[in-house]
Structure 1
Amino acid sequence: MKIGVIGIKGAWSSEQLAKAVADKTCQEKLLFEMQNLRLDLPSGKAMIEGHDLSTFDALIIKKIGKQYSPDLLDRLEILRLLEGRGVKIFSSPCSILRVLDRLTCTISLQLGDIPMPPTTITEDVNHALAAVEEYGEAVFKPLYSTKARGMFVLKPGPDARKTIEEYSKEYKTMYIQKTIDLKDSDLGIVFLGGKYLTTYARCKTTDSWNTTTVNGGRYAPVDPPQEIIDLAQKAQAIFNLDFTCVDVAITDDGPFIFEVSAFGGFRGLLNARGIDAASLYVDFVIKKVQ
């Protein structure tokens, strides 16, 4: 059995996953970065570091690149060809394509009748300004980002239009979401193979508007009520991901889903719950491949 990991060399979660694969399959550690791959369409070979990924039994995608951008969609298309020609890939590139772009993920959740914070999508500065005034305070979110990178909070005011005009020069399609009172924490509800695994919380320790660990958040164990787990289960089922974390906020207006992630959860599971997600994920993959 030959299983490779698509990830980032030196990154903690990618290295953990590659090591777990090596330990459980008694093979060398096979961790690859997509920018080093050559896909040859006539032969179907996908060569990287002397290996042909088209001959592997399976590939596990942990990270598709260091920075979120539309370029990652092209990398997923390369992997989609390998999957179409028989390589088992976890999660399927087609599934990841539907969550990588924040707008695509949001539209799928909305069509699935999943509660989300009030959100505006527009290319028009006037509409964007109207949304900020309607919401009272709003978060502008790039379509490709993680851990709140590139996001900022904006309130109505004399400089709001200018701020939006400058932002729209870099981000043509603006994703604007009403600021939600997180009550100092939100939840990461984790699923493996579509089955509930556990939940952890991201708790604010600073005055940041978000709970990400990049901005000082810390992980903590939490056991949400069954109706919250059921809601997260419904949200993740839309995408058919093999491993996923659903971000949920519990508010006075009820629960809201922020996003469904194809890559998150390893660090939170270990720090908050003592769970080795990499090991469990590899066990799941091996069972599927056998």
Structure 2
Amino acid sequence: MRMAVVGIHGGWSSEALADAVGLATGERILVDLDQARLDLPGGTGARPSLVCPDQHGRPVDLCALDALCIKKVAKGYAPQMIDRLEMLRVPAARGVRCFSEPERILRLVDRLACTVTLANAGMPLPPTTITEDPAQALDAVRAYGRAVLKPLFTSKARGMALLDAEALDAAELLRALQGFQAQNPVMYIQQALDLRGQDLGVCFLGGEYLGTYARRKEPGSSTTEGGWSTSTASGGRYAPFDPPLEIIDLARRAGEAFGLSFTCVDVALTADGPFIFEVSAFGGFRGLMAARGIDVAAAFTAHALRELAR
């Protein structure tokens, strides 16, 4: 059984998963798509190859493996993640089992694709507007009062900005929107929620509930005034949390819209009820370990091997 981890060389969660897979299979293979080469030779029946270097720099043809555990496809969120997932569809089509399937992860990389999938599944989302028209964007920010501008490719609140329609006049708001649009042609605008100091990561493996952690803002932190973000990149800390069954069921339904092997569903508990922010194919490993002591890498590996044994 040859099973590789697709991840980032030196990345904490990628290395942890590679360690777990290596321990279970007797061969540790961690490949990074930074130097991937996809060859699609012409001719009927020609065999494609997708070659990436492993942790020792040795070339590995992913199309010749039995399975792939996809942990990370890039160091940061960017449109090229879509291209790399498209390349991973080639070994998947050749019969290499993927945990999770690249086609399913594709629905999560772009924030808009994730939001549309959740909306179509009837999930409770924060009020959200997507537009390329600055005038429409200005109307949305005024209607929301306080709005968060979110890049379509980002994680841990990087690149996000809060606009307060009561604190800025129309000209200032328009300038802020135009500045955001200079880097983000499609503007994703969401009403700012009062998270009351925390939001949740509710995690599932193979559709089964694994555990929940909270991202909790330290009291007195001024990095995200107004409580609109608890990201660990802006001062949030992981903490254990035991949600009620109805929150677990809500998060499960959100995750089922994507059908991933492992997923983390971001849930906000507000005075107006629970909201789903997003579903992640890549997060959750560190949060569950730090808050709950759950070794997701070992559990993920065991799940993949059980599925392959079927």
Report the equivalent of 1:63.
72
SS of 1:146 mapped into structure 2: coil
Q: Which amino acid aligns with 1:84?
A: A
Matching residue within 205, 225, 228 for 2:247: 228
Cα distance in 2 for residues equivalent to 1:104 and 1:47:
28
Cα distance in 2 for residues equivalent to 1:114 and 1:188:
16
> Once the two structures are superposed, what CA deviation does each residue of 1:23-74 show, in whole Å capped at 9, x if it has no partner?
11111x2111112121221221222232211111100111110121111111
Report the equivalent of 1:44.
48
Cα distance in 2 for residues equivalent to 1:97 and 1:281:
20
Cα distance in 2 for residues equivalent to 1:132 and 1:46:
45
> Once the two structures are superposed, what CA deviation does each residue of 1:125-157 show, in whole Å capped at 9, x if it has no partner?
011111111111000000000000110101122
Q: Which amino acid aligns with 1:240?
A: G
SS of 1:80 mapped into structure 2: helix
Residue 97 (structure 1) aligned with residue 106 (structure 2): yes
SS of 2:274 mapped into structure 1: strand
TM-score between both structures, scaled by the size of structure 2: 0.92
Deviation larger for 154-163 or 268-277: 154-163
> Once the two structures are superposed, what CA deviation does each residue of 1:199-247 show, in whole Å capped at 9, x if it has no partner?
1111001232411111111111111111111100100000000000000
User: Map of 1:237-248 to 2, 5 A cutoff?
Assistant: 237-248=256-267
How far the C-alpha of 1:76 sits from its partner, in A, is 0.5
Residue 9 (structure 1) aligned with residue 13 (structure 2): no
How far the C-alpha of 1:20 sits from its partner, in A, is 0.6
Identity across the alignment (%): 52
SS of 2:159 mapped into structure 1: coil
Report the equivalent of 2:20.
20
TM-score between both structures, scaled by the size of structure 1: 0.98
Residue 267 (structure 1) aligned with residue 286 (structure 2): yes
Deviation larger for 64-73 or 237-246: 64-73
Number of residue pairs the alignment of both structures matches: 289
RMSD value, Cα: 0.9
Cα distance in 2 for residues equivalent to 1:251 and 1:167:
27
Report the equivalent of 2:215.
202
Q: 5+ unaligned residues in a row in structure 2: which ranges?
A: 42-46, 53-57
Cα distance in 2 for residues equivalent to 1:155 and 1:129:
11
User: Map of 1:170-189 to 2, 5 A cutoff?
Assistant: 170-189=183-202
Q: 5+ unaligned residues in a row in structure 1: which ranges?
A: none
Cα distance in 2 for residues equivalent to 1:188 and 1:50:
36
Matching residue within 127, 130, 135 for 1:118: 127
Residue 35 (structure 1) aligned with residue 34 (structure 2): yes
Cα distance in 1 for residues equivalent to 2:145 and 2:90:
46
How far the C-alpha of 1:272 sits from its partner, in A, is 0.5
Report the equivalent of 1:193.
206
